[in-house]
Structure 1
Amino acid sequence: MGFSNPRTPWSKLARRLEGKGLPGASDTPDKQGTGRQGTGRPVDKHADGSDAPAFSRPDRYQVSVGPGGSDGRSRYQGPEGAGSAQGPGSGPLLRQSSVDWAELHVHSQFSFLDGASDPETLVAAGAAAGLTSLALTDHNGLYGAVRFAHAAAEVGLDTVFGSELSIGLSEKIPGQTDPDATHLLVLAHSVEGYHQLSQAITEANLRGEKNRPLFSLEELAAEDGDWMILTGCRKGPLRRALGDDDGGLSALRELTALFGPDRVAVELSRDGTPDDDERLRHLGDLAQRAGLPVMASNAVHFATRAEWKSAQVRASVRSRKSLDELAGWLPATASARIHTGEEMLARFPRQALDNAVRIGRECSFVLSSARPDLPKAPMPDATEGETYLRGLIAERGRTRYGTRAENPRAWEQLDREMDMIAQLGFCGYFLIVFDITEFCRHMGIFCQGRGSAANSAVCFVLGITAVDAVKHGLLFDRFLSPDRKGYPDIDIDIESGRREEVIQYVYDHFGRDRAAQVANVITYRAKSAIRDAAFSLGYAPGQQDAFSKSSNRWSSLPDAEDSPVPAPVLEIAEDLLGSPRHLGIHSGGMILADRAIGEVVPIEKATMGHRTVVQWDKDDCAAMDLVKFDLLGLGMLTALHEMVGLVHRHTGVLIDRAEIDDDDEAVYEMLCRADAIGVFQVESRAQLATLPRLRPRTFYDLAVQVALIRPGPIQGGSVHPYIRRRQGLDEVEYLHPLLEKSLAKTCGVPLFQEQLMQMAIDVGGFTGADADRLRQAMGSRRSEKRMAELAEKFRTGAMERGVDEDTAETIFSTIAAFANYGFPESHAISFANLVYQSAWFKYHHHAAFTAGLLRSQPMGFYSPQSLMADARRHKVPILPVDIRWSQAATDLERVEPGKPGHTITEAAVGNGGTASAGELGIRLGLDTVAHVGSFAEVIVSERENAPFTSVADLAERTGIGKQALESLATAGALSGFDLDRRQALWLAGGVAGAHPGLLPGTASVDSAPSLPVMDAFDTTLAELFSTGITVDGYPTEMMRETLRARGYASTADAAAAADGTRMTVAAIVTHRQRPATASGITFINLEDEFGMLNVVATAGLMKRFRTVATSRNALVVTGLIQRGGDVVSLYAHKLIPLEVQLPTKARNFR
C-alpha cells in the first residue's frame, strides 16, 4: 500500500492510543526533540480525522499549525470538562465566546461506527465551546436528527440538518477499510430543503441495496434542492481533484454549474499535516477564482479529545481489522473534535469563520416544523369520519350489548367515549385501526388489540380488542383523556405466521410511499460489546466468542475481578456499551402519513424483502408526531388458530374462541396444580411456582396472575403480601376506607396502573384527566415540577374528603412509588384471555394443543421435546414420523392398532398408559426432521400421486438430498420399506443421488445387508439427533436403572421428599434463567421422564461451577429440598456433569 509502521517508540505510541499525553509535552515533543511543549502533532498529509477512518501514517511528520491550533491540550478546556459529561436537560448554557463560530460538518454515533459521540454529547460540547450553531451531518442519513434537535433545544443552540452522501459506492460500506466513494456534504437550507434532502436519501436507498445507497451528482442536482453544498473532507469532490492538471478548478466549476454559485462553499479543514498551509492557500485561491465563499470546519467525528481512542476502536470494528492491522490507517491526531472560536481563529482566516456563522444562521430551523399528518381513513365516499364511526358503533354496539334500553350502562360508556374521540379529532385514527382488524377478520387471521386500548368499549364493539371494558369496569381515562397530546397507542397482536400478510396489506392499501416500518436502533449490549472490543484488540474469533459467552448479563458488564475477560477488553466494551451499532427493524411498528414519508425521514430497504424501514426509532417518530401502528406477531395466536383447525379437521367441531366459557372449573383446577406447560404466559418457572399458591378460580384471577410475576411487583414487594392476604394468612387492610373501592379486588395491594389512577380519583378528588396527568408525570421522564403541583392538588382534595394530612401524604407516596412498576390492568386482562383459551385447549384437547404448539415453533418457554414429554405424561399417544403417514407439519391421527405405522409402545403413551382404538394421537411431521425443510411439502405432494415403494423411489421422485434422506433414515421415517434405521441409513447414501429422470435401477445401492438393530438407548439418541424429539419415552428413562444404582434420584423422588431433605438428582437441563430481580440467582430447570424440577443456584455457586452449569445439557445436582406448599425446589450445593452425550440444547432466558 505504500504505508509503513511508524518510527516511534512503542511506549510513546501506546500512550497516544490510550489518549495520554507524552511526558513534558501536551501532545508531542517539538521537532528537535527538546521536550518543550509542541504546538502540533505529526500526521500524514492525508489525515484529517475524517471519514472511515483517516487512513494516515501516524507520527511521520511534526508540524506546527500555529498558536492555539494544537491537537494537544489547548488553553481552553471547556469542551473536555463540562461538555463531554453533560446530557440533555443538564447541559451547559451557551458559553459566551469572544469569537463567533459555527461547526457545520459533524458526525455522531449515527454514522454507525464512524462517529464516537452521541448527539447529546456533541451538543453539550458545542454549547460549552460557545458555538452559534451546530450541524449534524451523518453519513447517508438523518438517523440522529430528532435526538440532536431535542438536545440543542434544551441548551438553546441553533441546529442545522444535513448529511454527507456517498457518491458512487461500489460495495456495501460495512467491512471496507476505505470505501471507494466521493463524499458530498449537503446542508438543508430550509424546511423545504430538509424534505428534499430526506427524499433524495430515500430514493438513493431504494435504488440501491441495504448499506449501499446509489447517489449521483447529476441526480442530486436535478432535485433542485434548497441546499448548501460544502466541498467536504479529503474524500470530497474538490479535494479528490486537487491533483488534477488544473488543481481542481474544473471540479469546483462543475459543482457550481450543477448546484448554483450561491449554493456552494469551499470547506477548509486542517489535518495537522505538512501541506496544511499550502492546501488551504490553494483552496482559498480556487474559491476566489470561482467566486465562492470559504468556510472552516473540523470534520468532527467526536466531541472531545477524550473520545479519540473510542473513535479508533469503532474504525477497527467497522473495517473488520484489528487496531494493530489498522495502525497505518488511523488518524494520528485528535483534530476531528469540536473547537472553540478562539482556537479556530488561530487556525483559519476570520472570513472562513464568519462565513460558517452566516451559513449556519441561514440554514437553522426547528425540526418539528417538518411534521406530517395522518392519512385519510378508509370509508365510503362523501362520508365524514365522525358520522361513519358513530354509525359503526351504533350497529356493532347492538350486537355486543343489545339495545340502549337493555344495557344503558354500556351505551352511556360508548357515548362518552365517542364524544371524547370526536372532541380530540381521533375518528380517522380509530377507523384506520378498524380497517386493519377488519382485513384480518376477512382473511381469517387471528388478531386482538392489547394494552390500554382494552380500556375502551368502543374498541371492543369495533372488534379491535377482545376485552369487554364495561364488564370488567376498566378505566377509559387510562386510554384517552381530554388533554391528551398525540394519538393513543393501539397495539394489535396478530398470529405471527400470517403477520406479513397484514403488513403487506397496509403497504398496498395506504401506498408504499406513505407507509414504512419503524426502526430499532441496535445498540451494543454486554456480549456484543465484549466481542467487538476483543476483536479490536486482535483476539482470535474463538477467544472473542469465549469472552462474550462468559458474560450472562444483558446491559451491564461483569466486574473485572470476577470475569475471565481481560481488563483492557472490558474497558473498551464499557465505552461501546449502549451506543448504536447498526439499524434494525421494530418488532411491529408501522407509521402512516398523509404525504410521502420519505420527505420527513429517509427510508431504507429492510433486510426482509418487500419491507422498508425509516431511519428513526419509535421514540423519535413519536417526538415528530409520526403516528405508529403496532402490528405485533404473537405465536400463541398462531398456535390457537392451529388448535382450532386441528380440532375442526379431525372431529368436525368448529370452536369459536369468543364463545369459550371462561368459568370452567376443571380448567382452573388444572392451573392450580401448576399443570401449565405450554400455556400462554403462565408456563415460566416463577409462574408455575406461583399458581399453586395463588390458586386462580376466576378469569380475573388470571389477570392478576399475569401481572403479579413481573419485575415491578417483584421489586416493589407486592407478590408475597398479595398471596398471603389471598390465602387468608394476613388480614386485608386499607390505609383509608376511601381506598377500598380501588383496591378491594386485589386484596388491598396495588398491582395495576388503573388502580393508581382510581386511588387519585377516590382520595384526591382528581378527575380522570387529572389522574392520567399524574400517571404521565410519574413516568420514565418524571417531572418534579408537575409532581409537586399534583401532590398539592391531591393533598387538598384528600383533606376535603376527610383524610388527615399524614395519611394523605402516605397514600400519595404509595402512588408515587407504585407508579414505577404498575402493570396496565387492561393489558393483563387481554393476556388473561389467551391464558384461559390456551389452558382450555390443554385440558379439553391436549393432543391438538400440543400439535398446535409444535406447528407454531419457535415460540414459548419450552422446547418441542419438553412439550411432547408433557403430552406423554398426559397419556397422549405419540406416533413417530413416517414417510407413509406423516404430513408436512405435525398433525393429529386416529390410532388404529395393528395398522402399519401405528405400533405404539407403552412409553409412547406415558407410564402405564395405553392407546385406545380411534383415540387421537400426535403424528410427528416430516418438517420435524433435520435438513428436510421444504422437501416435506414435496414428499407429501408426490405421495398423493402414488405411494412410495422404496428408498430409491423416494429419492428419484423427490430429488431429496443425501443429508435429508439420511436424517429421515435416522428418525425411523423409512421403516415402512421393511428397513430398520441402520439399514435405511446404509441405503440412503447410495440412492440420494437419484433424481427425477434417472433410469430406474441405476442407483448405486438398492439393498442393505443385515445389520445389528439399534437398542432402546441408541434409538433415543437417533431420534434426538434427527428430530430433537423422542417418541418412545424420555432419555433418562433408558438410563434409570444405572442412575438409581449410582444413588441418583428422579424428579418424582424430589417431589415426594420432605422439606430439608438432602438428595442428589440427575436429569436433563431444559433451560436456565437469571432474572434481573433475582439478586444474582440462576434458576435451572431439570426434566426427566417423570416431570420437572426447579434448581436454585446462588451467585456464589454459579461462580464455583460456572463452566459446568452453563455448558452441560445434563446435570447431577446435590442440594436440599425446599417446599413451599405444593411448590418444590432443589437448593443446589454442588453441580457435576451427567456424563452422557445427548444432542439437546437448553434454552437460556433473562
Structure 2
Amino acid sequence: MVPLQTMTAFSLLRSPMTPQQLIKAAQEKGYHAVALTDYNVLYGMYDFYQAAKKADMQPILGLTAELVGLQSSQTYPIVFLVENQVGYHNLLQISSVINTQDDQPTLTDLKSYLAGLYIILPSMGELTVVLGTEPERATTLVEKVISLTDAAHVFLGISLNMREDTVQSMKELADHTGTRIVANETVLYPNASDRFSAQVIQKLGQGEIIANVGLAQKQAATAYLKENIDWSNEYERRGISEAVANTDWIAAHSEVTLEQSAVTVPKYATPQGQSSKDYLAELATTGLTNRLHNLDIDSAPYEARLKEELRIINELGFADYFLIIWDVLNYAHKKSIRTGPGRGSAAGSLVAYVLWITDVDPIAYDLLFERFLNPERHQMPDIDIDIPDNRREEILEYLHEHYGHERVAQIITFSTMAQRAVIRDVARVFGLNPTQIDNLSKAMPRGTSSLQASYEDSLPFRNALLDLPVDGELLYQTALKLEGLPRNASLHAAGVVLSAEPLANYMPVQLGDDGRLVTQLPKGPVEALGLLKMDFLALSNLNILDIAIREIQKIPDYESFNIATVSLDDSATLKLFQNGLTNGVFQFESGGMKNILRQLLPDSFEDIVAANALFRPGPMQNIQHFVARKHQKEKQDVPDASMAVILAPTYGIIVYQEQVMRVAERFAGFSLGEADLLRRAMSKKDHDKIAAMKSDFIDGAMALHHDQQVAEQVFSYIETFAQYGFNRSHAVAYSKLAFQLAYIKAHFPAAFYKAVLNDSIADHKKIGIYISEAKLRHVTILRPSLNHSWQGYSMNKQGELQMGLASISGLRRDFREALIQERQEGGQYRDLTNFIGRLPSKYRKVSQLEPLIYAGALDGFGFNRKTLLGSMQGYIDAIGLAGESMSLFESLTPKMHEVAEFPLNEKLGYEHDYLGVYLSGHPIEPYLAALPDSQRTDIANLTVRISAATVVIYIQNVKKIRTKKGDPMAFVDGIDLTGSLSITIFPKLFKQVSPLLVNEKVLLITGKIEQQRGRDALQMIANRIVSGDELLARTSNSAGMVPTGQWYLRIMASAEDAGVMPILQNTLQQHHGANPVLLVFERNHRKIALDDTYGLADDERTAAAMQSLLGKNNVVFKKKP
C-alpha cells in the first residue's frame, strides 16, 4: 500500500508532522512510496522530495485542494496526484490559481490544468456526502469529473472508517463509471502518540481551547500512519484489497523529477535592437571611462579585466541579468534613491563597478571576480542591492510595472514556533489565562538555544510548570513536539524572483497582502530550482546617510557635498573608530565591537575592514592575535615567504576568503576559478573535495619549485583559516558604508544625530544613548515644542536639534498631525487660550494633553508644568461652555492658579517616561560633581580590559533572586549620561547593601567588567557599593556645610513590629542631608543618635516622607535658635 493523502505542518496549523518526519515514518513502517498532499499549498514540496530521494523512497507530489462542489456551493476536498512532468506543471498552476483568485474555483474552472494528474474523490469529500443523501446523483457527479479528464485518471477514495454499505456503493459506482476505488486513509501525524499534539495545533489554528485536557489526551488516534502490513491486512480482511493494489498502481505510474528549471532570464529591451552582450559592453566601456576620469592611474589593468569579465559573463549567458540589475539601479539613481556601495561578492566585479551597481573599486582593493562569478562553478550570479528602508516599495513597483506582475514575485518565508512562543501558544490552548501565560513565559531563561535547554537549565521554569493548574509536564512535552514548526507565512526581507514567463509555469505562487505575487517556496528551494533571484534589502542606514547628507548640503559651501569622494584615511574619522565612539555607525555599534576597536586602534581603512571581518563567530578567535601582531607584540609567522605579501595587510593571519584564493593561485598555480572551488570546499568542510584538491595543490606547488613539506604546511595553514575566512568583497563594501557614516559623525555631528534620532524615534533606549552622546559633542537638543516641532527631529538654522512630536510617548498620530496641520494653516499658537480654542473638540481631554505637558511641549506658554496640569480642566470646561465663540471663551477662561513646579527628580522622571530621555537635567548630575572624573568611568568607556572600574549609576530596575543555596542576590540595571549597564551583586555584598537597591536611586559602584554570557554587552560584578547620598554628604561635610537643626523621630512599638527599620534606613538615605537625627523608641524609651551618614535634609519633601512612614505626630524638626 502507498499512503496517498498525507498532510504536514505546511498545511499550516493542521498537522504537527514535518515532511522529513513523514518520510522517516514511512520508511520505518514498510512503505516504498508516499504522497504529499497538503491543503491548497505546495510549501513543503521541495523538502518532501529531497527527503524522499535521500531515503531512497519514491515521492509522489500532490495537493488536497478545497474546491467549490460540482453539485453544491459548499467547498470539498479533492486530491490531485502527479502522474508526470506535465501533471507537475499543472499542479503548480492549480495551487497558484487557488491562492491568487478571490473566488474559490470549481473543478470545472481547473479543466485546462488536469492533464497528467490523477484525481481522487476522497472518502471525506462531496461524493461521500452525495452517496449518503442523494445516491442517484452520485453517478452524475462522477461522470462530470470524467468529462473533465478521463476515467483512467479518476479514483474513488474509500477508507476503513466507511460503513460497509458505503464501500459497496463506491465499488458499484466505480464499476458503473469505469473508474477505480483506491485506499484513501488521511494521515496527519506519524504515530498514534502524536494525536494529542495534532489536536493542540489544530485548536491553535481555530483559536479554540481544549476544555478538558485530561479527557482529550485519552481520545483514540485515527489519522496516523499505520504499519503498511496492518493497513494492507485490514483491507484484505474486508475484501477490498483492490483498493490497496490501486495505490501501488498509482505509485508505479507516477514519475516526476524536480530539476533545475530551464528558466530563461527576461530579455532586456536594448535600444535600436542591439544584442544584450553588445549593449552591456557599450555601457561598461562608457562606465569605465567615467570611473577613471581625472584619476592618475594606469587604465590598462582595468581594460584587460573588464574584457575578461565581459567574456565570462557572455559565455555564461548572463548579459541580460547584468542589464536588468543595471536598469533597476539606473532607475533608483534617477529617482535619487541612494543605494549601498555593494553587498556580498558582487563588489568583486569590475563590470558591476563601472555600471554603478557597486561603488567599490575591485582592483584597488584586490577583490576577485571569480569569488563572485566562477565559470567553473556554473551558478547563477547573485547581486544583492541595499536600498533605504523607506524607498524599497518604489523599487518593487518599478519591477512589477516594467517586467509584468505575473513575472515578478517576492519570496515567502515562514515564522516558526520558537521556544517562548510555542509555550505561550500551547498554554493558551490548555486554557491558561493571560497572567498565567505571562508568568510561565517570564520563568523561561534568556539566551538558551531550545525549549529543551531552557527546561534542563532552569529550575524556576520547571517549578513554574509544576505550579500550573493544568498538567505542566504534558504542556511542556506537547510544546516540545511543536517547537520549530511553521506557524504562518510571511515575506523574505529582501528576495525577489524574476522570470521571462509567468512564474506559475515554474513555481507555485500566491498573493501577498499587497496583492502582489509571492512564491510558495522559500529562498533555498527557489535558488535550487534555478529561478533568477535578486535581493533588494531595505537598509535603514542608507536612509540615515541620506538624511544626514541632505542636512549637510543645506550648509553654505557644502551644497555639492559628495560622500563618495571623502578620504577613507580621514584622521578624525579614524580617531572616532579608535575611541570606539561608533554608536549609530553601521555594523560597528555593538559593545563587543567597540571594545575591539579600542584595543586595535585602527589607523587605516584596511584595519576597519579587517575588524568588520573578524568580529564574527569563528574568526573572532583570531582577534587577539591580530591585535597583538598589529602592535608588534606577537611575531608574524607564515609557512612560506611567498605568502607574506598576500597576508601583509592582515599581519600574517588569513582573514579573507580571497586570501585563500590568492595563496592557491600564486603558491600552487591554481586558476582563480580552481582556487574558488578549493576555498568553497574548505569553508564547507567538504573533506572529499579537499582531499582530491590537496593532491593538485601539492603538485602545483612543486611544479613552481616549492618543497613538498612546505607545500603540505601551506595547505594545512590555509585549510585551518579558510573555514573562518570572510568574504572580503562584502567586508570592504560594508566597511565603506560604515566609514561614510562615521565620517559624517566626526565632521557633521548635528546632521548625524538628526538622522539617527529620526531613525530610532520609537526606540527610547537608543534615543537616550544618542541624545546623551550628542550633548557631549556640544549638539543642543531642544525639547518638543507645540510651535516649533514637526513629527520627527528637525534642525534649525543654529544647528540645534528640535525633538519632534513623535518623540512623545502616548501622543496619538492623528493628534500630532492635527496639531501640525492647524499650526500650518492658522499660524503659531499664541497662548494657552488660543491653543485650547483651536483644538478640535475630540482632543479636548486632559488625558490627551498630559503627554504634551509632561514632555515640556507647552513650556513656551510661560507656565510651569504643574501649573499647566492643574489648570487644564478649567480651560477645557470653559471652551465647552463657550461653544464656537472665541470671545465668550476668552471671557470664561479661568484665572491661572500658579503653583510651584514639580520637584526636579519628579519632573525628570516624567520627562523620561514620555521622552525616554532626561532633558532638563539628569538624576546623576549632582552626584558627578561630587566625584572627580579621574575617580570614575563613563559606561560608554568601559571595556573588558578594566579589572576594577567605578561608575555612578541611576537604578532603573532591580531583580532579586536566590541562588541554588537559597542566598539572596540581585541584578541591577543602571544608566549614566553615556549608556546602560547590568550589574551583578552576589550574596555577600547583597547582605550589606540590600536597602540601597531601590529603583530611582543613585549609587557609586566599583567592580570588575566582564562580557555577558551569550550577549553582546558588558556587565559589572560589583565588589563595593556606596549610596550617592553618602557621596554628597561627604562632599557637603568637606565643604563645611552647617546643619540648621535636628530631627526627632519616634519609633512606635507597632511600627517596629511591622518591620519599619529597614524601610527607615532606606528613606534616611534617600533624603540625606546635614541635620542630625535622634531616634526615640516607644517600647523601652531608648534614644539613639545616628551618625552623619544618616543625616537628613530640612525640606518639605523630607518631612512628608518621614511623616508618611512614621506618622505625623512622630516626626519633629527643631531649628537651631
TM-score by length of 1: 0.78
Is 1:839 the counterpart of 2:742 in the alignment? yes
Residue in structure 1 matched with residue 358 of structure 2 by the alignment: 465
Residue in structure 1 matched with residue 553 of structure 2 by the alignment: 648
Residue in structure 2 matched with residue 545 of structure 1 by the alignment: 438
Residue in structure 1 matched with residue 59 of structure 2 by the alignment: 159
CA contact (8 A) 2:1007 2:1024 kept: no
Is 1:581 the counterpart of 2:491 in the alignment? no
User: Cα distance 1:1101–1:386, how it changes in 2: closer, same or farther (>3 A)?
Assistant: farther
User: What is the CA–CA distance in structure 2 between the aligned matches of 1:704 and 1:1068, rounded to whole Å?
Assistant: 38
Residue in structure 2 matched with residue 562 of structure 1 by the alignment: 458
2:732 is aligned, of 821, 829, 854, to: 829
Residue in structure 2 matched with residue 635 of structure 1 by the alignment: 540
Is 1:291 the counterpart of 2:178 in the alignment? yes
User: Cα distance 1:217–1:986, how it changes in 2: closer, same or farther (>3 A)?
Assistant: farther
1:411 is aligned, of 303, 306, 315, to: 303
User: Cα distance 1:623–1:1056, how it changes in 2: closer, same or farther (>3 A)?
Assistant: closer
2:769 is aligned, of 858, 866, 874, to: 866
- 2:824 is matched by which residue type in structure 1? E
User: What is the CA–CA distance in structure 2 between the aligned matches of 1:553 and 1:1103, rounded to whole Å?
Assistant: 25
Is 1:441 the counterpart of 2:333 in the alignment? yes
Q: Give the structure with the larger helix fraction.
A: 2
SS class of match (1:228):
strand
User: Cα distance 1:857–1:1063, how it changes in 2: closer, same or farther (>3 A)?
Assistant: closer
User: Cα distance 1:824–1:1096, how it changes in 2: closer, same or farther (>3 A)?
Assistant: farther
Q: CA deviation at 1:427?
A: 0.7
Q: CA deviation at 1:460?
A: 1.0
User: Cα distance 1:278–1:798, how it changes in 2: closer, same or farther (>3 A)?
Assistant: farther
Residue in structure 1 matched with residue 526 of structure 2 by the alignment: 621
Q: CA deviation at 1:287?
A: 2.6
Q: CA deviation at 1:104?
A: 1.7
User: Cα distance 1:252–1:673, how it changes in 2: closer, same or farther (>3 A)?
Assistant: same
User: What is the CA–CA distance in structure 1 between the aligned matches of 2:339 and 2:940, rounded to whole Å?
Assistant: 43
User: What is the CA–CA distance in structure 2 between the aligned matches of 1:196 and 1:1102, rounded to whole Å?
Assistant: 72
1:192 is aligned, of 86, 108, 112, to: 86
SS class of match (1:830):
helix
CA contact (8 A) 1:184 1:231 kept: yes
Q: CA deviation at 1:469?
A: 0.6
SS class of match (2:391):
helix
Is 1:429 the counterpart of 2:321 in the alignment? yes
Q: CA deviation at 1:256?
A: 4.0
Alignment RMSD (CA, Å) = 4.1
Q: CA deviation at 1:676?
A: 2.0
Superposition map of 1:134-533 within 5 A: 134-167=34-67, 181-208=75-102, 214-221=104-111, 226-234=116-124, 236-246=125-135, 249=138, 251-257=141-147, 260-271=150-161, 276-305=163-192, 307-325=194-212, 332-348=219-235, 349-368=240-259, 372-402=263-293, 406-448=298-340, 449-533=342-426
Report the identity percentage: 25
Superposition map of 1:574-613 within 5 A: 574-607=480-513, 609-613=514-518
- 2:540 is matched by which residue type in structure 1? G
Is 1:778 the counterpart of 2:682 in the alignment? yes
CA contact (8 A) 1:678 1:860 kept: no
User: What is the CA–CA distance in structure 1 between the aligned matches of 2:945 and 2:148, rounded to whole Å?
Assistant: 86
CA contact (8 A) 2:982 2:1018 kept: no
User: What is the CA–CA distance in structure 2 between the aligned matches of 1:149 and 1:1034, rounded to whole Å?
Assistant: 62
Deviations 1:879-928 (A, max 9, x none): 1111111223211113xxxxxxxxxxxxxxxxxxxxxxxx4111111221
User: Cα distance 1:772–1:306, how it changes in 2: closer, same or farther (>3 A)?
Assistant: farther
SS class of match (1:399):
helix
SS class of match (1:564):
helix
CA contact (8 A) 1:401 1:410 kept: no
User: What is the CA–CA distance in structure 1 between the aligned matches of 2:780 and 2:54, rounded to whole Å?
Assistant: 66
- 1:649 is matched by which residue type in structure 2? K
- 2:543 is matched by which residue type in structure 1? T
Residue in structure 2 matched with residue 107 of structure 1 by the alignment: 7
User: Cα distance 1:543–1:599, how it changes in 2: closer, same or farther (>3 A)?
Assistant: farther
Superposition map of 1:970-1119 within 5 A: 970-986=854-870, 999-1001=884-886, 1006-1007=893-894, 1008-1037=896-925, 1051=938, 1060-1061=947-948, 1065-1067=952-954, 1087-1089=975-977, 1091-1092=978-979
Residue in structure 2 matched with residue 947 of structure 1 by the alignment: 828
Q: CA deviation at 1:707?
A: 1.4
User: Cα distance 1:1036–1:205, how it changes in 2: closer, same or farther (>3 A)?
Assistant: farther
Q: CA deviation at 1:579?
A: 2.5
SS class of match (1:238):
helix
Aligned length: 978
Deviations 1:552-589 (A, max 9, x none): 13642314352433354443333223322221210111
User: What is the CA–CA distance in structure 2 between the aligned matches of 1:1110 and 1:798, rounded to whole Å?
Assistant: 67
CA contact (8 A) 1:1024 1:1030 kept: yes
Unaligned runs of 5+ in 2: 466-472, 960-969, 1012-1016, 1029-1065, 1068-1121
Is 1:719 the counterpart of 2:644 in the alignment? no
User: What is the CA–CA distance in structure 1 between the aligned matches of 2:674 and 2:995, rounded to whole Å?
Assistant: 55
User: What is the CA–CA distance in structure 1 between the aligned matches of 2:588 and 2:957, rounded to whole Å?
Assistant: 17
Q: Comparing 948-957 with 344-353, which one deviates more in the overlay?
A: 948-957
User: What is the CA–CA distance in structure 2 between the aligned matches of 1:141 and 1:219, rounded to whole Å?
Assistant: 18
2:701 is aligned, of 772, 778, 798, to: 798
Q: CA deviation at 1:301?
A: 1.6
User: What is the CA–CA distance in structure 1 between the aligned matches of 2:242 and 2:610, rounded to whole Å?
Assistant: 69
User: What is the CA–CA distance in structure 2 between the aligned matches of 1:777 and 1:419, rounded to whole Å?
Assistant: 26
User: What is the CA–CA distance in structure 2 between the aligned matches of 1:1110 and 1:452, rounded to whole Å?
Assistant: 52
User: What is the CA–CA distance in structure 2 between the aligned matches of 1:729 and 1:1027, rounded to whole Å?
Assistant: 47
User: What is the CA–CA distance in structure 2 between the aligned matches of 1:155 and 1:537, rounded to whole Å?
Assistant: 37
CA contact (8 A) 2:376 2:674 kept: no
Q: CA deviation at 1:324?
A: 4.6
- 2:500 is matched by which residue type in structure 1? D
Structure of larger gyration radius? 2
User: Cα distance 1:1103–1:949, how it changes in 2: closer, same or farther (>3 A)?
Assistant: same
User: What is the CA–CA distance in structure 1 between the aligned matches of 2:1001 and 2:304, rounded to whole Å?
Assistant: 60
Q: Comparing 459-468 with 238-247, which one deviates more in the overlay?
A: 238-247
Q: CA deviation at 1:311?
A: 2.5
Superposition map of 1:739-754 within 5 A: 739-754=643-658
User: Cα distance 1:1028–1:369, how it changes in 2: closer, same or farther (>3 A)?
Assistant: closer
User: What is the CA–CA distance in structure 2 between the aligned matches of 1:475 and 1:445, rounded to whole Å?
Assistant: 28
Q: CA deviation at 1:852?
A: 0.7
User: What is the CA–CA distance in structure 1 between the aligned matches of 2:112 and 2:160, rounded to whole Å?
Assistant: 32
Q: CA deviation at 1:368?
A: 2.2
Deviations 1:652-705 (A, max 9, x none): 623211122222112211221222222222121011111121111111111112
Q: CA deviation at 1:841?
A: 1.0
Deviations 1:497-550 (A, max 9, x none): 211111221122211111111111222222223323433444333333333342
Q: CA deviation at 1:458?
A: 1.1
Deviations 1:735-757 (A, max 9, x none): 22232232211011111121222
User: Cα distance 1:737–1:445, how it changes in 2: closer, same or farther (>3 A)?
Assistant: same
Deviations 1:150-174 (A, max 9, x none): 22233443332221122369xxxxx
Q: CA deviation at 1:1101?
A: 13
Is 1:675 the counterpart of 2:581 in the alignment? yes
Q: Comparing 331-340 with 237-246, which one deviates more in the overlay?
A: 331-340
Unaligned runs of 5+ in 1: 1-100, 170-178, 895-918, 1073-1081, 1141-1150
Is 1:700 the counterpart of 2:603 in the alignment? no
User: What is the CA–CA distance in structure 1 between the aligned matches of 2:44 and 2:520, rounded to whole Å?
Assistant: 8
